[in-house]
Amino acid sequence: MLKLEHINIFIQASHILRDVFLEVAEGEVVCLIGRNGAGKTTTLKTIMGFLSPQSGTIEFQKQDISGLPTYKIAQMGLGYMPGDGGIFTDLTVHENIEIGSWMRETSLTPEEKVRFAYQSFPLLEKYRSRKGDQVSGGERKMLAIARAFASDPTMLLLDEPFEGLSPVIIPGINEKIYESTKHGLSILIAESELHHVPEFTNTLYVIERGQIIFAGKPERVQHEEDIMRIIGGGATR
């Protein structure tokens, strides 16, 4: 579905991503874990075309997407939830979800997409007339995920979806994510905390100083002492 090879990103004189590789198959959940500043957001922004790699290739559905403008990449079916959620605070919850549903044409009508997003996050329907800044931080995060769902993507990139969320609501969101993969959706999640890695994660990547230092089954990482020392203690902020 998605394949990154030898991605190098320089911002000014800094070498931010070093030979990054990553692969997500259809219906898979892949987690990219790394401390703050490791390069997770840069990786997702590069996939979405906000940054152009100086070298390397990015394939989505067997097409080279590196160098394509972001809107084209989104139209191809890549949904993106930025780290700050990117919610429009002067628009209502409902309008924010509608914007997601207009992102690209699929077999679903915009109305069906909105309904699907509400089905996944029923609480949001209750708040549909509230402005984006009249819901809690956790609800805004939920809204950002719902809006990404509403674009009816084939693959979703979620930048720290669980950060700042109450532990009580994370299992419910995970359930929705898991359900969506049953319909073939592929998901790439960036998180800074190992304990946020959902149990149904197929492959885990660990990034440190712009380099992938681990790729494999999540349960295998527990045995890698050097890597656990870096990510095991949770995020350093």
Ligand X SMILES: Nc1ncnc2c1ncn2[C@@H]1O[C@H](COP(=O)(O)OP(=O)(O)O)[C@@H](O)[C@H]1O
Binding site for Mg ion (CB under 5 A): 40-41, 83
DSSP codes of every residue in 84-128: TTT--TTSBHHHHHHHHHTSS--SS-HHHHHHHHHHH-HHHHHTT
Least distance (Å) between residue 171 CB and Mg ion: 23
Nearest distance from C-beta of residue 6 to ligand X, angstroms: 18
Footprint (CB under 6 A) of ligand X, residues 23-52: 34, 36-42
Question: How many angstroms separate the CA atoms of 226 and 209, rounded?
Answer: 14
Question: Which of Mg ion, ligand X, none binds 77 (CB below 5-8 Å, type-dependent)?
Answer: none
CB of 189 to Mg ion, least distance (A): 12
Residue 60: Cβ within 10 Å count: 22
Task: Give dist(CA 209, CA 36) in Å, integer.
Answer: 10
Per CB under 6 A, the list member of 1, 2, 4, 16 interacting with ligand X is 16
Q: How many CB atoms lie within 10 A of CB 72?
A: 11
Residue 232 interacts with which of ligand X, Mg ion, none, CB < 5 to 8 Å by class: none
Residue 60 CB, nearest approach to ligand X (Å): 20
Residues in contact with ligand X by CB under 6 A are 11, 14, 16, 34, 36-42
